[in-house]
């Protein structure tokens, strides 16, 4: 795969290696947004009931392809990760076999949206929250995966785990975690916000109960739109909101006051209200089409190749990373020498037009297909200066 910088309106003087914070729009996504806004008023008289549903179905189908599943009906449009997590929390009390004293298993240092959702339901159902600590060693990916597996017991009701750690880029063995969770009857919820779009994900192999991705990072779509997969355990569950579009026959606008007791099948009930989003949905569609065309496996390989020569140079200078087999190539958690203040270093990078993030105890470097060797060279030069 070759660099796609020419597909983005990025300033040549800026070295933006920060997709984990916010993915830029490609020129195609920008054009889709402009067109959606420009066409809305002149063509408003052509709007039909089909326009409320069909584009959303197309986006759901594209996301299903990214997850390697044909179950488009299990995809829901959501506004945020916290929304999807709240759906799980809302339905956890109805989980088969749930009993007081069981545990919700989290990881240390997880993103707040994956943490706050469980506090209320834990109190209400007399559950406890167990956090699996990150091992206190320089390279801990293997040990952390082992600790997660050991923490899953018959007392575990729910496992909440990312595909890639949002700060340090650790890879988690979701197939093994899912196998263990299923063996004890626990649900598995996976936040793929920092992976899907840049790293292959396979629902058929992993068999999670819920998967969620925000749309504005590695999917490189608009803010306030995301997508989630809900497995069979959520069929017949309780949605967060009673949107009219979730009900049977909601496409029959002339019969909307023939109120329906039944929802449309599978995950349709979990779609957010006003899911059609006539300006942003076309942008998300084009973004997903572009990612599928590039192919997440190719994106991952591109990012790995891009930093292959730089990583040994940085390690020789006292920086360190997780071994390659336990880290993603698109999200690098660069740990710093003890004498280096991360905020001071970040300020120096910004002064040299190099943009990464400070997260936890290091720098989060998150390249994508628009980055090139000049970006990496500018980063290394600034770090070693």
Residue extents of the structural domains in the chain: 5-25+295-384, 45-291
Q: In the predicted model, what is the mean pLDDT of the chain?
A: 97
Q: Which residue has the higher pLDDT, 338 or 205?
A: 205
Would you state the pLDDT for residue 137?
81
Beta bridge partners of 26: 8
Give all strands (DSSP E) within 42-140, no chain letters.
75-78, 103-107, 128-132
Give the pLDDT confidence of 112-124 residue by residue, as tens digits. 999 999 999 999 9
CATH 3.30.1280.10 for domain 45-291, yes or no, is no
- Taking alpha carbons only, the member of 28, 123, 81 closest to residue 272 is 81
Degrees to nearest 5, angle at CA 378 with 20 and 24: 30
The helix or strand, by DSSP H or E, that contains position 55, with its residue range, turns out to be helix 50-66
Instruction: State the CB neighbour count (10 A cutoff) for residue 194.
Output: 27
Question: 77: exposed, middle or buried (C-beta count within 10 Å: 0-12, 13-18, 19+)?
Answer: buried
140 pLDDT tier (thresholds 50, 70, 90): confident
The region, left, alpha or beta by phi > 0 then psi within -120 to 50, assigned to residue 166 is alpha
Asked whether the CA dihedral 282, 283, 284, 285 is positive or negative, the reply is positive
Instruction: State the CB neighbour count (10 A cutoff) for residue 213.
Output: 29
Mean pLDDT over 148-164 rounds to 98
Locus of tokens 């899907």? 196
Give the pLDDT confidence of 355-382 residue by residue, as tens digits. 999 998 899 999 999 999 999 999 999 9
265 pLDDT tier (thresholds 50, 70, 90): very high
User: Has this prediction a pTM greater than 0.85?
Assistant: yes
Give the pLDDT confidence of 14-58 residue by residue, as tens digits. 999 999 999 999 999 999 999 999 999 999 999 999 999 999 999
Mean pLDDT over 224-247 rounds to 97
Distances (CA, A) of 204 to 65, 141, 175, 207: 11, 24, 10, 6
- Taking alpha carbons only, the member of 300, 375, 292 closest to residue 331 is 300
pLDDT over 90 (residue 211): yes
Instruction: State the CB neighbour count (10 A cutoff) for residue 310.
Output: 17
Mean pLDDT over 152-175 rounds to 97
Task: Give, as one character, the DSSP assignment of residue 324.
Answer: G
Which SS3 state, helix, strand or coil, does residue 347 take? Answer: helix
Would you state the pLDDT for residue 370?
99
Please state which architecture CATH assigns to domain 5-25+295-384.
Alpha-Beta Complex (3.90)
**Separation of alpha carbons 327 and 332, rounded Å:** 7
């Amino acid at each position: 795969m070759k660099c796609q910088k020419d597909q983005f309106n990025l300033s040549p003087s800026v070295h933006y290696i920060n997709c984990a914070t916010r993915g830029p729009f490609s020129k195609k996504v920008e054009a889709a947004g402009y067109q959606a806004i420009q066409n809305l008023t002149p063509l408003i008289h052509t709007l039909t009931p089909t326009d409320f549903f069909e584009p959303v179905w197309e986006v759901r189908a594209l996301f299903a392809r990214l997850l390697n599943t044909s179950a488009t009906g299990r995809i829901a449009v959501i506004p945020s990760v916290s929304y999807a997590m709240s759906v799980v929390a809302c339905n956890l009390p109805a989980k088969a076999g749930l009993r007081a004293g069981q545990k919700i298993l989290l990881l240390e240092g997880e993103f707040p949206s994956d943490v706050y959702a469980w506090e209320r339901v834990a109190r209400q159902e007399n559950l406890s929250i167990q956090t699996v600590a990150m091992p206190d060693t320089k390279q801990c990916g293997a040990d952390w995966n082992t600790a997660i597996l050991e923490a899953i017991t018959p007392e575990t009701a729910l496992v909440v785990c990312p595909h890639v750690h949002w700060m340090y880029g650790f890879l988690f063995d979701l197939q093994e975690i899912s196998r263990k969770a299923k063996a004890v009857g626990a649900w598995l919820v996976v936040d793929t916000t920092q992976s899907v779009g840049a790293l292959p994900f396979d629902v058929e192999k992993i068999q999670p109960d819920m998967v969620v991705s925000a749309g504005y990072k590695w999917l490189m779509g608009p803010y306030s739109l995301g997508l989630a997969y809900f497995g069979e355990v959520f069929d017949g569950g309780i949605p967060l909101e009673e949107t009219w579009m979730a009900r049977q026959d909601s496409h029959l606008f002339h019969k909307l006051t023939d109120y329906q007791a039944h929802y449309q099948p599978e995950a349709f009930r979990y779609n957010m209200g006003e899911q059609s989003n006539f300006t942003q949905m076309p942008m998300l569609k084009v973004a997903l089409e572009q990612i599928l065309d590039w192919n997440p496996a190719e994106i991952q390989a591109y990012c790995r190749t891009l930093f292959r020569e730089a990583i040994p140079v940085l390690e020789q200078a006292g920086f360190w990373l997780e071994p390659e087999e336990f880290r993603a190539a698109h999200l690098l958690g660069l740990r710093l020498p003890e004498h280096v203040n991360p905020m001071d270093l970040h300020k120096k990078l910004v002064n040299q037009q190099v943009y990464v993030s400070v997260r936890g105890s290091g720098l989060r470097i998150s390249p994508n297909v628009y980055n090139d060797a000049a970006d990496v060279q500018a980063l290394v030069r600034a770090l070693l200066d």
